Structure 1
Amino acid sequence: MTTIDLCADVGESFGNYEWVTDTALLDIVSSVNIACGFHAGDPRSMMATTKLAVEKGCAIGAHPGFPDLVGFGRRIMELSKEEITTDVLYQLGALQAFATGHGANINHVLPHGQLANMANVRGDYASAIVDACALFSEEMVIVAPPGQLADEAQKRNFPVAHVAFIDRNYQDNGQLVPRNQQHAVIVDEQTIIDRCKKMIIEQSVTTVSGKEWPVKCDTLLLHGDTSGAVRLAYALREALLKEGIAIQSYQS
């Protein structure tokens, strides 16, 4: 039977700023990527989201980002290798404290936003993130699309789960269309469902220009801040199950 992990970015509330979709999403997805306080999230949201993930049986992942609350981690930041390694390690340790408090461990790490984008095309950023993971746990699953980060992780014998983005358009080079460009985000529900089936079954995606690009897909990523995220997650799950594709968290 074909299986796929369906994951969502969650725990992105902080202070008086609150996302209300987390509870509903955790009833639908098989794993979660929890914000660790740098681009979003705070100790209260990390505690609540980790507790809920354990209760719902979702695999827990860390979602470390740039120290950029104002820009939601989506701005380019030129940091040293030491800064990246220590920032990521700090965020992993913080989330693990909450996981330990609920009898769980972090299963995977998926870098957020511009940190992920830069690590996928820059060897220094990729190496710094893997350095942090090596200091934390060599059994950590590193979630990334094909690129520098996935290559560096595999070179150093980390388990890698290749991620595909359900609501983002791809360029002809396999990279995501930047969010500041037109057609970066796909909003039509049926289009998203059809693309996901194609990525899983045919291991291919149609780029923004209409070309076919091969994809590796172990996990499908749903952005929790996407409009209608809960409705989309439910519709996607039902469509995949109807296709005979089982939803199951990716673990090493």
Structure 2
Amino acid sequence: MAVPVIDLNADLGESFGRWTLGDDAALIEVISSANIACGFHAGDPSTLRRSCELAAGAGVAIGAQVAYRDLAGFGRRFIDVAPDELRDDVLYQLGALDGFARAAGSRVTYLKPHGALYHAAVGNAGQAKAIVDAVRTYDPTLAVLGQPGSLLLKEAAAVGLRAVPEAFADRQYTADGGLLSRSRPGAVLTDQARIAEQVQRLMAGEGVIADDGSVVPVSAESICVHGDTPGAVEIAKTVRTVIAASGGSVQAFTNLPS
């Protein structure tokens, strides 16, 4: 089924010190929800503050993009953290980002895991529950954004949190509905025509084409563009254009009824 109103999210706040990643100022003008790094995989305090100010100024929803404590690996390496420790790591990140968001006149309204933690929470019950426990402890009104069918979303829904499934505009899917490993060629989509086709299919409820050519059903309330994908701003603009051409509109899912 086509979705007339859909969220468009992207990763922001991933610069660190003198190292700049992504064009946050341009991207914030295109998206409706910002997954802002919380300092564990990327982002320093000043970057986090500026990112929250950008989002607040643009009326964009702020989400905490929590991760493993892995600056060197950009949060893309699995770390077998004990559930209690992971819960506290996530709680720490949530509180830190929400402090900057509130100082900017806004607040964190949802959580999305980043990188390896995102993928771990798809099928690792201990890691998924640790994330959900942190969210419920901090603020049970927060939504949780993640992969459709993941244990993360199932755990979130089971305890009464809003569980929001997302799809990716700039990633290649596999036949099981997961994402092709970034170590494999073609894992990240940069061709505008290919991205447009994937978003068109998502909007029409036709699923996505997997790397083996099969069609994978994907139902989503939000579409993600990675801020570090080459040409991210233009990709986000393409996504918005396709959504409009499909008869849809872009709005933060946190502004819509669950």
TM-score w.r.t. length of structure 2: 0.95
Kept after mapping to 1: 8 A contact 2:170/2:195: yes
Kept after mapping to 2: 8 A contact 1:6/1:220: yes
Q: Which runs of 5+ in 1 are unaligned?
A: none
Kept after mapping to 2: 8 A contact 1:10/1:49: yes
Q: What whole-Å deviation, never above 9, does each CA across 1:137-177 have from its counterpart, x for those lacking one?
A: 11111001121101111111111110101111111111111
Kept after mapping to 1: 8 A contact 2:16/2:42: yes
The correspondence for 2:170, drawn from 164, 167, 170, is 167
| Cα distance in structure 2, aligned partners of 1:53 and 1:173 | 34
Cα displacement (A) at 1:203: 4.6
Partner of 1:67: 69
Partner of 1:223: 226
Partner of 1:232: 235
The correspondence for 2:217, drawn from 172, 197, 214, is 214
Partner of 2:138: 136
**Residues 76-225 of structure 1 aligned to structure 2 (within 5 Å):** 76-146=78-148, 147-225=150-228
**Residues 26-45 of structure 1 aligned to structure 2 (within 5 Å):** 26-45=28-47
Kept after mapping to 2: 8 A contact 1:203/1:217: no
Q: What whole-Å deviation, never above 9, does each CA across 1:32-58 have from its counterpart, x for those lacking one?
A: 000000000010011001011010010
| Cα distance in structure 1, aligned partners of 2:204 and 2:245 | 13
Kept after mapping to 2: 8 A contact 1:65/1:111: yes
Kept after mapping to 2: 8 A contact 1:96/1:105: yes
| Cα distance in structure 2, aligned partners of 1:98 and 1:187 | 32
- The alignment partner of 1:142 has SS state of strand
| Cα distance in structure 2, aligned partners of 1:145 and 1:39 | 20
Aligned positions, number = 252
- The AA in structure 2 aligned to 1:46 is L
| Cα distance in structure 2, aligned partners of 1:163 and 1:84 | 23
Cα displacement (A) at 1:77: 0.7
- The alignment partner of 1:110 has SS state of strand
TM-score w.r.t. length of structure 1: 0.97
The correspondence for 1:250, drawn from 249, 253, 256, is 253
- The AA in structure 2 aligned to 1:161 is V
Q: Among the aligned pairs, what percent are the same residue?
A: 38
| Cα distance in structure 1, aligned partners of 2:176 and 2:237 | 30
| Cα distance in structure 2, aligned partners of 1:201 and 1:217 | 11
Aligned-pair RMSD on alpha carbons? Answer: 1.1
- The AA in structure 2 aligned to 1:144 is G
| Cα distance in structure 1, aligned partners of 2:22 and 2:143 | 28
Partner of 1:46: 48
- The alignment partner of 1:107 has SS state of strand
Q: Which runs of 5+ in 2 are unaligned?
A: none
Cα displacement (A) at 1:68: 0.4
